[in-house]
Amino acid sequence: MKQNNLVLAIVGITLFSVYNNCRAQITTSPDLVAVKKAIESTNTLYFNLFEKNDGSIVNLYTEDASLLAPNTPPISGRKALKKDFEDTFAAGKVKGVKFQTSNVYGDSKEYVTEEGTWQVFDLKGKLLDDGKYLKLWRRTKAGWKIFRDLFNSNHKLQ
């Protein structure tokens, strides 16, 4: 019985430490506030480039980035991302995207995770789909870049 209590105490202390560490790494730290601003600035650039069908949008991603879209294999590397964006632009069905960052987590040293919601609009500005996302950002010599981009819809497949 004493051994069970010891195990429970150790597990409890470990969980408390992990929880406390995670809480400390939410957007409220000064470093993460600055990172969040940089991410929001990059997201604004993303919107503008997407709206112009500008292929340089892939430069917002790391060389080894992966787009993890629903119902499709991962799209990995800038060359594959470039083709995916070109195909999307050529299809002519989507005119705009919008991201709303809700939180940024991490230690702001090498990687951070952005959590938020997204919307996609057609050529007339009508909402086509919306959902939630996580982006893993990596600090590079050129600033913060998207390393992993994972999203899914709020709606069931039809």
Among 101, 65, 103, 99, which residue's Cα sits nearest to residue 84?
65
User: Residue 110's CB: how many other CB atoms inside 10 A?
Assistant: 11
Q: Where are the beta strands (DSSP E) in the chain?
A: 61-68, 75-76, 96-106, 111-121, 127-140, 143-153
- pLDDT at 108 exceeding the cut of 80: yes
- pLDDT at 8 exceeding the cut of 60: no
* pLDDT confidence bin for 158, thresholds 50/70/90: confident
Mean per-residue pLDDT over the chain, rounded: 88
Q: Which amino acid is at 25?
A: Q
Say which residue, 76 or 2, is predicted with more confidence: 76
Q: Which amino acid is at 128?
A: L
**pLDDT for residue 24:** 44
**pLDDT for residue 80:** 98
The arithmetic mean of pLDDT across residues 1-26, rounded, is: 54
Domain annotation for the chain: domains and CATH numbers: 27-153 (3.10.450.50)
**pLDDT for residue 29:** 81
* pLDDT confidence bin for 157, thresholds 50/70/90: confident
* Tokens, residue 99: 């991201």
Asked if residues 104 and 113 have their Cβ atoms less than 8 Å apart, the reply is yes
**pLDDT for residue 27:** 58
Percentage of the chain beyond pLDDT 90 is 76
Q: What is the CA radius of gyration of the chain?
A: 19
The arithmetic mean of pLDDT across residues 103-109, rounded, is: 93
